[in-house]
């Protein structure tokens, strides 16, 4: 089930507003508009809060009890056969950080972008380690289809071996983040911790404090954390693990092409209204796949070209989602 709108019956006049900035099991940390933070517990067994939720809460001694979760603008989540994992709610954008090295998985990237599209959340792709050549240029070329389909793709260098290799691209990135709530995802080794530490002073200390408060001193390496990058608390980075194993069980296979902007641009002209775009004759998607699956020879450059890799990802995902087990 998709926990889009968890609500309890109580809505007392004494309740106060707050923002969920960390969640772990049945505890969460709620920040008041004045910046103070307090451990709260959701009331009722079913109500579930996620980082980014706006809530109404009441004092219960030193802690608080969550009375109500406000309706979510969006909820970014993944779902595999066994469970649903919510990353965060009410996001302005998802930033996928990949690097020239280690080589990133395009399938993983595509999955995260599809999950964002399905919730109508903007995406931003950042390619880190521009100091590493020729790996960087190769990775940049692999991202060309993403630029073509309308994603913003930014180059970045957070570190380098030489003096000349100090940071670059950070200003352009900051401009994209300003005033927004951005979930940061990325494969291990891409530089996610380096980025968070660069943009959030004292991030490590803060994470330590949160773990201690929520998890009685143990390290919660698997939880999602909210950071303000500015004293005014206008720009937020939400750091979350879980880029690997990005399950899309919540996506209907027949909807999949709608969530892939390059495929979506070619929709509406297939011969069959219920075309799966896998093998049907007269399929407008297949016509635009680079490498010519349709056999049709286009004489002018195809502005709607779909890369072979992107189409392969579509086919594999369609197959996976059609064969998923439902409970
Ligand atoms: N050459 C180069 N190395 C970088 C750059 N940015 C980060 N690194 C290095 O890449 C390595 C991985 O960075 P981390 O920030 O630990 O990566 P991470 O994504 O948090 O990875 P996990 O901790 O495994 O999740 C570190 O050794 C960083 O110093 C860069 O722009 N260029
Ligand atoms: Zn089709």
229 is in an annotated binding site: no
The protein residue with its alpha carbon nearest to ligand 1, atom 22, reads 188
CA distances (Å), origin 172, targets 131, 153, 243: 17, 11, 24
Check whether 187 has a pLDDT greater than 90.
yes
Task: Tell how far the Cα of 189 is from the centroid of ligand 2, in angstroms.
Answer: 38
Ligand 1 atom nearest residue 167's Cα: 31
Check whether 208 has a pLDDT greater than 80.
no
Q: Could you tell me which residues come within 8 angstroms of residue 74 by beta carbon, excluding any fewer than 6 positions away?
A: 89, 90, 91, 119, 120, 121
Task: Tell how far the Cα of 59 is from the centroid of ligand 1, in angstroms.
Answer: 41
pLDDT by residue (tens digit) across 51-101? 999 999 999 988 999 999 999 999 999 998 888 888 999 999 999 999 999
d(CA 50, CA 53): 6
Domains of the chain: 16-69 (2.40.50.140), 75-239 (3.40.50.300), 253-322 (1.10.40)
Task: Tell how far the Cα of 107 is from the centroid of ligand 2, in angstroms.
Answer: 21
Check whether 2 has a pLDDT greater than 80.
no
Between residues 36 and 12, which one has the greater pLDDT? 36
283 is in an annotated binding site: yes
pLDDT of residue 296: 53
Ligand 1 — pocket residues by CB below 6 A?
Answer: 128-129, 131-132, 157-160, 186, 188-194
Mean pLDDT over 313-326 rounds to 89
pLDDT of residue 115: 95
Check whether 10 has a pLDDT greater than 50.
no
Give the least confident one: 31-35, 94-98, 200-204, 291-295: 291-295
- Scan for tokens 């720009």, then name that residue: 235
Mean pLDDT over 239-267 rounds to 93
pLDDT of residue 292: 56
């Amino acid at each position: 089930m998709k926990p889009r709108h968890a609500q309890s019956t109580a809505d007392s006049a004494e309740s106060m507003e707050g923002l969920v900035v960390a969640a772990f099991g049945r505890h969460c940390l709620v920040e008041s508009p004045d910046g103070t933070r307090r451990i709260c517990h959701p009331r009722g067994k079913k109500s579930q809060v996620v980082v980014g939720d706006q809530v109404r809460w009441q004092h219960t001694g030193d802690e608080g009890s969550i009375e109500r979760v406000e309706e979510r603008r969006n909820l970014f989540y993944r779902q595999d056969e066994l469970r649903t994992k919510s990353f965060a709610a009410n996001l302005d954008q998802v930033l996928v950080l990949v690097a020239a090295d280690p080589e990133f998985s395009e399938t993983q990237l595509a999955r995260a972008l599809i999950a964002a599209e399905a919730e109508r959340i903007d995406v931003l792709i950042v390619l880190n380690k521009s100091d590493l050549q020729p790996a960087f240029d190769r990775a940049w070329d692999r991202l060309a289809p993403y630029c073509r389909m309308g994603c913003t793709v930014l180059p970045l260098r957070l570190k380098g071996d030489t003096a000349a290799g100090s940071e670059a691209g950070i200003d352009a990135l900051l401009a994209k983040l300003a005033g927004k709530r951005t979930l940061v995802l990325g494969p291990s080794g891409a530089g996610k911790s380096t980025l968070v530490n660069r943009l959030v002073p004292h991030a490590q200390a803060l994470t330590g404090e949160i773990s201690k408060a929520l998890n009685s001193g143990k390290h919660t390496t698997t939880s999602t954390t909210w950071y303000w990058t500015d004293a005014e608390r206008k720009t937020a980075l939400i750091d979350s693990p879980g880029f690997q194993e990005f399950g899309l069980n919540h996506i209907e296979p027949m909807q999949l092409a709608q969530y892939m902007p390059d495929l979506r641009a070619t929709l509406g002209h297939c011969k069959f209204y219920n075309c799966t775009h896998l093998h049907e004759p007269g399929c407008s998607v297949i016509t635009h796949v680079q490498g010519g699956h349709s056999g049709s020879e286009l004489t002018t450059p195809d502005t709607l070209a779909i890369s072979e890799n992107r189409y392969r990802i579509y086919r594999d995902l369609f197959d996976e989602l059609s064969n998923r087990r439902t409970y």
